[in-house]
Amino acid sequence: MVFGPVPNRSYHEAFMRNAIEMAEFALASDETPVGCVFVHNGEIIGRGINGTNASLNGTRHAEFVALAEIMAKHPQSILRETDLYVTVEPCIMCASALRQYGIRTVYFGCLNDRFGGCGGVMNMHSDAGVDKPYPVYGGIFREEAIMLLRRFYVQENEKGKLVMTVSDKGRIAALCILNLDDRSLTGLFPWDST
């Protein structure tokens, strides 16, 4: 069902391309390559990559990282007019939070068949509940999303017990934890180049 036709697909592919780029950045940062962008009126208002490794915090999923950025600048109500593009189906935790936050629509790449909350394992987006359900469209650049995950597992296996330097850890933790607007961090992020 979540892999049905996506209306106006090319419009959504453009934003999923941004999410894929975030996932590639996560891969380069030794994080599970999941990336996302939140889009309001055609404009990206939040970006996130999975940050659980550097932060040692299992809740630093890409969606939560981006939501923290959005909540720092906007009222929660903006999410009612905002769509999420994420390379991997949101997990049960994120799918539930997105519903409580009132997300308008979720577009994702590949299914998360272990922890998925939008059809992969559970249906947090549509099950009976207090909060308004949201529609979900999966399969946009699915193969690329899967290939990124495969590359990550190959990369991790090859590295074995390679230990990150303190500065690497600090840099990546900064990405995941600190306010993305902090001037001292300018230049750390690929999307800061403008």
Q: Does 111 bind Zn ion (CB under 5 A)?
A: no
Q: Does 49 bind Zn ion (CB under 5 A)?
A: no
The amino acid present at 100, given as its one-letter code, is: Q
Q: Does 61 bind Zn ion (CB under 5 A)?
A: yes
144 is a catalytic site residue: no
Q: Does 26 bind Zn ion (CB under 5 A)?
A: no
Query: What is the DSSP pairing of strand 136-138 with strand 105-110?
Result: parallel
Q: Minimal distance in Å, beta carbon 39 to Zn ion? A: 18
Stretch that binds Zn ion, among 18-26, 86-94, 124-132, 186-194 (CB under 5 A): 86-94
d(CA 58, CA 121): 19
Q: Does 86 bind Zn ion (CB under 5 A)?
A: no
Tokens standing for residue 137: 């469209």
d(CA 12, CA 85): 8
Active-site pick, 21, 24, 31, 63: 63
Tokens standing for residue 7: 């209306």
Active site residues: 63
